[in-house]
């Protein structure tokens, strides 16, 4: 028996499936981008129904301050106006597949919060999105304030 056909078969399958898998990942990234845009809009509007749709029931949201929210406490903080975001933008937002039905979103977020007398946040973040019954929902968020560049510091 010739051992060569099996590696060729794997190579052929890889060549055929690579574009299909890349297309599927692009579709997932587009879907997560849309879901995140909807989440941000719902957050800015303090829209309970919008937040309910875009947040996982298993949400673990860690703010840059270290405060941790569940889905219920996160939603309540916005609909009660205990927390108010005036703006939220992304100078940088990247997506990466972490496995079937899981997408990591990383980047930088600029948020102006009216809470506490008006605070501008420049955040680096990691968000985990999970597909739940065909709907992409935010499962986890971890952010930290971006440290200002030290004067005279050399980049690494």
pLDDT attached to residue 155: 45
* pLDDT given for residue 117 in this prediction: 82
* Spatial separation of the C-alpha atoms in residues 43 and 74, rounded to whole Å: 9
Residue 22: pLDDT band with limits 50, 70, 90 = very low
Helix (H, G, I), strand (E, B) or coil at 3: coil
Closest to 63 (Cα-Cα) out of 47, 45, 85: 85
- DSSP string across 6-30: HHHHHHHHHHHHHHHHHHHHHHHHH
pLDDT single digits (tens) 81-135? 999 999 999 999 999 999 999 999 999 999 999 987 888 999 999 999 999 999 9
Given pLDDT bands bounded at 50, 70 and 90, which one contains residue 23?
Answer: very low
**Tell me, what's the pLDDT at 120?**
92
Which residues are CB-contacts of 153 (< 8 A; sequence separation ≥ 6)?
Answer: none
Element (H, E) at 143: strand 135-145
pLDDT of 21 reads 47
Residue 153 pLDDT > 70: no
Q: Which of 71, 31, 28 is nearest to 51 (CA)?
A: 71
Tell me how far CA of residue 97 lies from CA of 19, 28, 46, 115, in angstroms.
15, 8, 29, 34
pLDDT score of 87: 95
Flag whether pLDDT at 65 surpasses 80: yes
Average pLDDT over residues 16-21: 50
Kindly report the average pLDDT of the chain as a whole number: 86
Give residue 94's pLDDT: 97
Q: Say if residue 5's pLDDT is above 80.
A: no
């Amino acid at each position: 028996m010739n051992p060569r056909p099996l590696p060729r078969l794997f190579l052929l399958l890889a060549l055929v499936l690579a574009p299909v898998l890349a297309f599927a990942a692009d579709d997932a990234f587009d879907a997560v981008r849309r879901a995140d845009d909807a989440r941000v809009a719902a957050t800015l509007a303090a829209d309970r129904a919008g937040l309910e749709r875009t947040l996982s029931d298993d949400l673990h949201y860690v703010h840059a301050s270290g405060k941790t929210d569940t889905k219920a406490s996160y939603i309540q903080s916005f609909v009660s106006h205990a927390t108010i975001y005036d703006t939220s933008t992304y100078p940088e937002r990247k997506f990466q597949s972490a496995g079937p039905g899981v997408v990591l979103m990383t980047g930088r977020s600029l948020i102006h919060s009216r809470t506490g007398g008006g605070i501008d946040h420049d955040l680096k973040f990691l968000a985990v999105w999970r597909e739940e019954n065909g709907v992409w929902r935010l499962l986890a968020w971890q952010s930290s304030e971006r440290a200002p560049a030290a004067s005279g510091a050399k980049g690494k």
